[in-house]
Amino acid sequence: MRQAGRSLPEYRKVREGIPMLESCTRPELITEITLQPLRRFDVDAAILFSDIVVPLRAVGIDVDIKAGIGPVIETPVRSARDLERLRPLEPDDVPYVTEAVGALVTELGGRPLIGFAGGPFTLASYLVEGGPSKNHDKTKALMYGHPELWHALLGRLAGIAISFLRIQVSAGAAAIQLFDSWVGAVSPDDYRHAILPHTKRIFAALGSHALGDDSVPRIHFGVGTGELLGLMGEAGADVVGVDWRIPLDEAVRRVEPGKALQGNLDPSILLAPWEVIEERAKDVIARGRTAEGHVFNLGHGVLPETDPGVLARLTDLVHAESARTPA
């Protein structure tokens, strides 16, 4: 469960006084924060503590994460000339990631570490808008009005994502997840023409053809992507993440055979009484059994006000239920 840390007092303690992006560049903090949820919850994997804008900052983009707002970019990227600021990412740009992943793999023993990068639409939106956006208007205006510039921008972002993920896999990450959080803002036709080719390139670069023995399972997630699930699988994801808006058994019908699903309990349900959580979690597991592989997860990040005790109880419930043979 991504962002499980946000709800933990020990997370808030180690982060005290340290800006978000600085905490993502200190190997000992990355390691500590990544491990914190595993000390409390019996989860099957760890996910690297980082942020989707970390590689952008590493290549020199003036991005900062402002509390209560999100990523803010001082000088937005809107012209061909601006693209020059998006140079390729080299391993030397993110030594703290290599170091933290290495340390984590040792600490975790057999438990897998999931690597992490931001998807091209979401990163493009932050860069073009200059910060979080409700409608992504400027981003879409660029996408519709200047297709050459758009593809050049997404090409650079895909290249950066590939580097960032390969660095993590080389250092020992056992799977990768590409978060294109806001890609659900576009229609299937737009996804197919404007985004799919770039996502495809990212997943191909992490696949068995490209990496041989190093190839790793590839997970892909975005919010509100009910109409895009088939295309997100087509892009090359092995596991398609699903938010809570669409029941998993319906999501199964929208992806091609051979894809596993991840999801999809509404994070808000964790604020409800335990009986409600239990009923809903069991429902997710039951519907997940219709998929060719199901990774139980929330349908989006853990809400900061979630009770860690509830997360622990949920993890145990999922293990117990998964072990049961369905009637």
List all residues 6 or more positions away from 290 whose beta carbon is below 8 Å from its beta carbon.
248, 249, 252
Q: Give me the 228-247 binding string for a second copy, x by CB under 8 A, dash otherwise.
A: ----------------xxxx
The residue within the footprint of a second copy, chosen from 135, 213, 257, 327 (CB under 8 A), is 135
Asked if 272 interacts with a second copy (CB under 8 A), we say: yes
How do strand 46-47 and strand 294-298 relate by DSSP bridges?
A: unpaired
Q: Give me the 294-323 binding string for a second copy, x by CB under 8 A, dash otherwise.
A: ------x--x-x------------------
The residue within the footprint of a second copy, chosen from 110, 145, 258, 326 (CB under 8 A), is 145
Longest CA span, the chain: 61
Q: How many CB atoms lie within 10 A of CB 69?
A: 10
Determine whether 42 is an active site residue: no
Helix axes 308-323, 27-40, angle to 10 degrees: 60
**Smallest separation (angstroms) from a second copy to the CB of 270:** 9
Determine whether 126 is an active site residue: yes
Q: Give, as ranges, the residues between 169 and 228 that touch a second copy (CB under 8 A).
A: 184-190, 224, 226-227
The residue within the footprint of a second copy, chosen from 59, 105, 211, 271 (CB under 8 A), is 271
Asked if 140 interacts with a second copy (CB under 8 A), we say: yes
Q: Give me the 96-125 binding string for a second copy, x by CB under 8 A, dash otherwise.
A: ------------------------------
User: Which residues of the chain form contacts with a second copy (CB under 8 A)?
Assistant: 135-137, 140-141, 144-145, 184-190, 224, 226-227, 244-247, 250, 266-269, 271-273, 276, 283, 300, 303, 305
Residues recognised as catalytic: 2, 6, 15, 51, 126
